[in-house]
Amino acid sequence: MFFETKIKIGRMTEDGLVKKVTETYLVETETFGDAEKRIIEILSPETQDELEVDAIKRVRYSEIVKGEKYKWYSVKFAFITIDDKNGKEKRTHCSYLMNAESVENAREVFGEYMRSSMLDWEVKAVSETNVLDVYFL
């Protein structure tokens, strides 16, 4: 399972002052408590100030595709199948989190990733997220 964690952390500004900012990270773990513990362990070495876990929520991405890019994009799409009983199209909606440079690049990366899929699919929406990084188990 993945949990989205919002962290208040002290970051150095351009003028040399430390300012509290809210940052969003995803953590793969089993429980809310483990997510809080893990993100604190990961980010504590990056700051001299105390960091504060502001919010944690479970997120439901079918897959997370990590690349070499800095930004994370949510790709919402639907698999299209034909119902054997009535012959009508059936859509199964899913969300993937993709690492990409831009919305357009996220669409391209997703298309490449899905190229080998045996099922038809269509993209419903692509949007940039606030996620700065994803920490896998």
Residue 6: give its domain's CATH number: 3.10.20
Residues 87 and 68 in one domain: yes
State residue 73's pLDDT score: 98
As given in the structure block, the two tokens for residue 127 are 């949007």
Identify which of 21, 49, 55, 22 has the alpha carbon closest to the alpha carbon of residue 36: 55
Q: How far apart are CA 75 and CA 46, in angstroms?
A: 30
Identify which of 2, 1, 47 has the alpha carbon closest to the alpha carbon of residue 26: 2
Residues 70 and 121 in one domain: yes
State residue 132's pLDDT score: 96
State residue 1's pLDDT score: 95
> What are the 10-residue block averages of pLDDT along the chain, 137 residues in total?
95 89 97 97 86 96 92 97 93 96 96 94 97 95
CB 76 within 8 A of CB 123: yes
Map residue 46 onto helix, strand or coil: helix
State residue 10's pLDDT score: 87
Number of domains in the chain: 2
Cα–Cα distances in angstroms (integers) from residue 54 to residues 7, 13, 23, 24, 128, in the given order: 5, 21, 10, 10, 21
Residues 68 and 124 in one domain: yes
Residues 45 and 95 in one domain: no
